[in-house]
């Protein structure tokens, strides 16, 4: 199936997922068997019962790698109801627009034309750049978004460059301390470094020139990233400073009991048939009654975009991207997500865990119970529940890698902070600047202009260098001319201008003196 990533809109979930709404309807219309059925002593051709459609759609979703075997029959029914509501199917009388489809023998058919929702064409995020080249070229430099409102004062000031902005910066500098002396790094500066470097790594993993289409800078709180990275237990779980934001004690006890069943079921706890079901219901009720999902509503689009990478050849990219995206969460949400994933993973792998549901296994129960607690849209959209199911299933299998602290990120931040601190001690201007995030178009324009200016400066440095010999200078200029002929032509438009650089030396070598060869007498007589 063709992949697409679409801008947010009425059907943003299905637009952002790897198998969008239009693709699902296309495969359903093309593959759903049509038969002849009898009802009320009449024969109807080219139709199907609701139960037959549910069976076929359920098999399609379970066999698709983008949804997996965790899709339930009930979810297939919900999706088929959306088909009826959006006139993908209709009943024999041509009625549609409701969601009253049930798992029975009611007959349905396809309308003459299937509605295709208008989707603006745009390349998916994992195809906008070559992901293979990203891992080959580790030194790729991307535009880094920044958060700090502090900007270094320009020396000297350039006319026409926002007098009000320069004035505001000067006011901040005066409040910060002596203008001439080096500034010490504040806690806010360190938080911004955590945020900048984290987003820079995310941008490189996704191979995007900018994160504008995925993230709003106003959504990012660098303090959350720093806390999630630095305040952790020996097991990597976030430690909260405000204990009132933590899980209630009774929920933690219930989760610990289920995660370590039956070892943690000591004699102090009641023991009766069905006790484990009551404990599980207690935990489920708490998470189901949260005011918003653990991944928050504002990051819904981001995580759905990453879901599009959950393919066999891009699984490592998705895992690394999810690892960084989970650092953006508020610390209480990240801690709850970590503890929840540890519990459901242990429960699904525990062969001693009693059956908690009569109709489904433990793993399926965990996924269906907590999927909407982890990922959910503020407004219900098509395939919303299937997206959440896919993500929770992946987190259950890879939560140790996704929710651990990335050591490479911690090392990168520490090295950069040490570099800036050394620069401040020596009185040098740090090489790290805080600036406003620019658009993709501005970045591309600046990238071209900056590269051209740097190349021109390189040519001038070769021309002005008096420490190299004329031979070496000619050799370098010849190499430069080969690499950048247009820039070289603009600097030396004629051969005379090039000759003046080396003086009026003749270009043709003087002919060597022809010496008259002496005559030798023959030795013969």
What are the start-end ranges of the E strands in 133-272? none
- Contact in structure between 385 and 371 (CB atoms under 8 Å): yes
Q: What average pLDDT is seen over the chain?
A: 77
Q: Is the pLDDT of residue 196 over 70?
A: yes
On whether the 131-159+182-411 domain is CATH 1.10.555.10, my answer is yes
Distance of alpha carbon 392 from alpha carbon 274, whole angstroms: 26
Does 244 or 139 have the greater pLDDT score?
244
Rg (CA), the chain: 34
pLDDT (tens digit, 9 = 90+) per residue, 219-237?
899 999 999 999 999 889 9
Which of 3.30.230.10, 3.40.309.10, 1.10.10.10, 1.10.645.10 is the CATH number of 21-109?
1.10.10.10
DSSP line for 308-340: TT-SGGGHHHHHHHHHHHGGGS-HHHHHHHHHH
Find the mean pLDDT for residues 504-516.
50
Find the mean pLDDT for residues 18-43.
80
Query: Kind of pairing, strands 42-49 and 90-91?
Result: unpaired
Q: Is the pLDDT of residue 430 over 60?
A: no
Report which listed range, 124-133, 326-335, 437-446, is most confident.
326-335
CA distances from 34 to 47, 48, 63 (A): 5, 6, 21
Sign, CA dihedral 219-221-226-228, equals: negative
Beta bridge partners of 47: 35
The pLDDT value given to residue 267: 52
Distance of alpha carbon 493 from alpha carbon 481, whole angstroms: 12
Confidence class for position 115, pLDDT limits 50, 70, 90: low
Cis (ω within 30 of 0) for the bond into 473? no
pLDDT (tens digit, 9 = 90+) per residue, 255-266?
999 999 887 655
pLDDT (tens digit, 9 = 90+) per residue, 143-173?
344 444 344 444 443 334 444 444 433 434 4
Q: Is the pLDDT of residue 497 over 90?
A: no
- Grouping H, G, I as helix, E, B as strand and the rest as coil, residue 114 is coil
**Domain residue extents for the chain:** 21-109, 131-159+182-411, 438-520
What global pTM score does this model have? Answer: 0.61
Does 478 or 127 have the greater pLDDT score?
478
Q: Is the pLDDT of residue 337 over 90?
A: yes
Percent of the chain at pLDDT exceeding 90 = 30
What are the structure tokens assigned to 189, written together?
A: 């500066």
Find the mean pLDDT for residues 482-498.
81
Distance of alpha carbon 414 from alpha carbon 193, whole angstroms: 10
The pLDDT value given to residue 226: 94
């Amino acid at each position: 199936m063709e992949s697409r990533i679409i801008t947010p809109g009425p059907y943003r979930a299905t637009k952002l997922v790897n198998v969008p709404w239009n693709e699902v309807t296309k495969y359903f219309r093309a593959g759903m068997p049509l038969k002849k059925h009898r009802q009320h002593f009449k024969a109807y051709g080219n139709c199907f019962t609701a139960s037959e459609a549910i069976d076929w759609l359920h098999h399609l979703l379970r066999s698709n790698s983008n949804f997996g075997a965790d899709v339930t029959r009930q979810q297939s029914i919900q999706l088929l109801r959306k088909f009826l509501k959006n006139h993908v199917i209709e009943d024999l009388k041509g009625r549609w627009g409701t969601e009253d489809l049930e798992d029975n023998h009611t007959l349905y058919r396809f309308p003459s034309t299937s509605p295709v929702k208008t989707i603006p064409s745009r390349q998916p995020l994992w195809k906008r750049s070559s992901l293979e080249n990203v891992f080959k070229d580790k030194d790729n430099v991307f535009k880094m978004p920044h958060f700090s409102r502090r900007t270094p004062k320009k020396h000297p000031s350039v006319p026409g460059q926002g007098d009000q902005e320069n004035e505001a910066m000067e006011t901040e500098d005066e409040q910060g301390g002596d203008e001439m002396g080096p500034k010490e790094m504040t806690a806010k500066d360190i938080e911004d470094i955590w945020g900048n470097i984290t987003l820079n790594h995310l941008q490189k993993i996704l191979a995007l020139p900018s994160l504008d289409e995925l993230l709003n800078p106003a959504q990012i709180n660098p303090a959350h990233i720093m806390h999630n990275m630095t305040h952790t237990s020996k097991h990597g779980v976030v430690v909260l400073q405000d204990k009132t934001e933590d899980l209630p004690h009774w929920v933690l006890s219930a989760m610990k009991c289920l995660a370590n069943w039956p070892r943690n079921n000591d004699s102090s706890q009641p023991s009766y048939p069905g006790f484990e079901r009551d404990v599980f219901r207690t935990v489920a009720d708490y998470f189901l009654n949260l005011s918003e999902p653990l991944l928050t509503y504002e990051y819904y689009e981001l995580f759905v975009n990453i879901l599009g990478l959950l393919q066999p050849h891009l699984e490592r990219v998705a895992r690394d991207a999810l690892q960084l995206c989970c650092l953006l969460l508020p610390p209480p949400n990240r801690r709850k997500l970590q503890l929840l994933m540890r519990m459901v993973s242990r429960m699904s792998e525990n062969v001693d865990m009693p059956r908690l549901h009569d109709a489904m296994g433990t793993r399926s129960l965990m996924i269906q119970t907590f999927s909407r607690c982890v990922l959910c849209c503020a407004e219900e959209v098509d395939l919303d529940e299937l997206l959440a199911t896919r993500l929770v299933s992946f987190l259950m299998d890879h939560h140790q890698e996704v929710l651990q602290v990335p050591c490479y990120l911690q090392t990168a931040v520490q090295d950069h902070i040490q570099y800036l601190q050394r620069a401040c001690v020596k009185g040098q201007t740090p090489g790290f600047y805080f600036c406003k995030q620019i658009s993709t178009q501005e970045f591309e324009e600046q990238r071209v202009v900056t590269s051209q200016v740097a190349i021109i400066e390189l040519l001038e440095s070769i021309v002005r260098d008096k420490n190299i010999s004329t031979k070496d200078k000619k050799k370098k200029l010849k190499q430069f001319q080969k690499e950048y002929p247009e820039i070289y032509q603009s600097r030396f438009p004629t051969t005379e201008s090039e000759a003046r650089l080396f003086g009026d030396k003749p270009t043709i070598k003087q002919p060597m003196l022809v010496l008259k060869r002496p005559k030798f007498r023959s030795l013969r007589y």
